[in-house]
Chains A and B, each alone.
Chain A
């Protein structure tokens, strides 16, 4: 049957796909309670069908262009680049997407999958609130019930996003256990999921967790890299020398990296939160400082002690404050295809202010880590270099944190 052939071909795993059990090299897999295995199998099966179904892919593409505002722009940051050793710097403007970050790509994809599976309720975790806001948005659009788990520390530092989610009709549940940040929000979402798995989809916000989440989330974000590659070729006539992206769980980075993964001349550089400095121990630099271990269902680099207890991450950026990382990044690190560096709070905040003042773009503090990395790369690579930065989100949510950090307002009045 000649018509079946292309489907068979498409079904075959690509060179960069994990094996059927979700392994990227030794990383990934599925270390999860038996109670959730059925739901993960169902999700895998549904996704495998959906990705080949023109109705699904068409609807996803339509939402990306007509709702999320894709393709996002590519902007050359000329004045900012004066501080980057004279290299040219290009910004992939995920901050201009609806809801203000790259997160919308993945949530639209997974919310459509939720509908296909006949589930009516969505749960999600959020750190900075970007993923929570994006999830609440997609649920409002598609008529799904939405519950977002958010660490108490984060509900305090991102109060505006809590209000935003509630305006969108989502229920926000503050999580007061453990470190009271993203890691524990995921724990609490998993506890909800194991209780309500029949009716509920867990809309995980990053390219981590148990199979199939890492590959599914990555594929929904690949559009970032695909667009950026075409745009930069169009604008400059050549590929960039380096692509820089921040890495917490790693979804925006894996999305943009995949546009260039088969271009060996393009360096892929992930910037992790160095917090108060690696030497202080207060950081979230999982790939730089961690060791392989399991957290939230997959094997990957992890911040842990000698007993395998997860240690607390720290970053000024709530969205990067996570002791784990997506398994594909661990594999890209080990194979050497990508490199990972740490950027301190101070370096990120300097880049945050610099972009605001030289380009009139206030970035998310997460994305400011990538900008700081680009400044460093520019100085290393010199004036001939072209550097592409994934500007993964906008900084509206961070104005309060930045105002305090730079002493721009009377603290009493905040």
Chain B
């Protein structure tokens, strides 16, 4: 059984959603990013998404753009990514990597998968790679036992939801709103509808991201999704160091458990 599948069986058994926390590798520098990811897990995240800082992050809002720029200016290189992932798995945490596709393409898909697997990473989330453009990534992922987490959006047609559901493993990443990453006042009614539509095509767990920043929002999303994904809000807290990140993760971890009090 894949580790992600085991994780979701565990959270389902607890009648709650999983908490997934995103932070970029190398921000504010490589060592500090390891500590911040550790704090996210200590605060209660079930899984961390380790972001790859990239020069042209077209699906990211200002918070993550600024962090990616800072990481690159501080000297982040891809070799550091594997080091950061390894630091998570070495302490018993679970990590997937979120990356735009060109760094993987340039590194070599097979080499990237090999090194990610060796570092204990569980899979890849690919915001600008859809299953129909994925080339040999699915078969390489299969070979290394890595999960391939694709995104669905409110604009996805039924046909595309079906395509994505068939190609994805681990879980499906549902983007709550049409837009870029960034904390928002509300997650949007579209998110629940997208999750409902996606469920008609798959039994895979569905995580919802884009805009979640508070315990209340986490609880709301946990009411209809299998995982609550938080990025920009954690990145903002990273400026306040590990204590601030651990505190927010703790709050969000409470949020994803609120649903257990409700009939599901």
Contacts and interface: CB of A to CB of B under 8 A. Distances in A.
Q: Do A and B come from one complex?
A: yes
Interface of A: 21, 29-39, 177-178, 183, 187, 190-191, 194-198, 291, 293-297, 299, 302, 304, 306-311
B102 interface: yes
A37 B160 contact: yes
A304 B106 contact: yes
Nearest to B151: A34
A35 B106 contact: no
B59 interface: yes
A194 B105 contact: no
Given A32-B130, A307-B103, A191 B58 contact: yes
Contacts, number: 116
A191 B156 contact: no
Contact of B179 (A195, A291, A311): A195
Contact of A187 (B56, B69, B105, B150): B56
A310 B55 contact: yes
B87 interface: no
B144 interface: no
B179 A178 contact: no
A309 B72 CA distance: 9
Given A31-B133, A37-B130, A38-B157, A191 B61 contact: yes
Contacts of A196: 178
Listed from nearest, the 8 A-B pairs whose CB atoms lie closest are: A308-B106, A35-B153, A308-B103, A195-B179, A308-B102, A294-B102, A190-B58, A310-B55
B180 interface: yes
A31 B129 contact: yes
Chain A's interface: helix, strand, loop or mixed, by majority?
mixed
A294 B153 contact: no
B77 interface: yes
Contacts of B150: 34
B157 A30 contact: no
B99 to A, nearest CB: 9
B69 A30 contact: no
Interface in B32-84: 54-59, 61-62, 65, 69, 72, 77-78
B247 interface: no
Contacts of A183: 56
Q: What band does the interface of chain B fall in when counting residues whose beta carbon is under 8 Å from A?
A: 35 or more
A107 B164 CA distance: 34
Interface in B167-198: 175, 178-180
Given A194-B178, A198-B178, A295-B56, A307 B152 contact: no
A309 B54 CA distance: 6
Contacts of A195: 178-180
Contacts of B178: 35, 194-198
A194 B179 contact: yes
A36 B59 CA distance: 11
Interface of B: 54-59, 61-62, 65, 69, 72, 77-78, 100-107, 127-130, 132-133, 150-157, 160, 164, 175, 178-180
Contact of B58 (A33, A293, A299): A33
B55 A178 contact: yes
6 contacts: A194-B178, A194-B179, A195-B178, A302-B102, A306-B106, A310-B55
Contacts of A38: 155-157, 160
A127 to B, nearest CB: 16
A302 B102 CA distance: 10
A304 B180 contact: no
A297 to B, nearest CB: 8
Nearest to B99: A308
B128 A293 contact: no
Contact of B105 (A39, A293, A309): A293
Contacts of A34: 130, 150-153, 155-156, 160, 164, 175
A187 B56 CA distance: 7
B179 to A, nearest CB: 4
Nearest to B106: A308
A187 B54 CA distance: 12
Given A30-B132, A37-B156, A191-B179, 16 more contacts: A32-B128, A33-B127, A33-B151, A34-B160, A35-B151, A37-B160, A177-B65, A187-B56, A190-B58, A191-B61, A195-B179, A198-B155, A295-B102, A307-B103, A309-B54, A309-B55
A177 B77 CA distance: 21
A293 B102 contact: yes
A197 B59 CA distance: 13
A35 B56 contact: no
Contacts of A308: 54, 78, 102-107
Contacts of A291: 106
A194 B130 contact: no
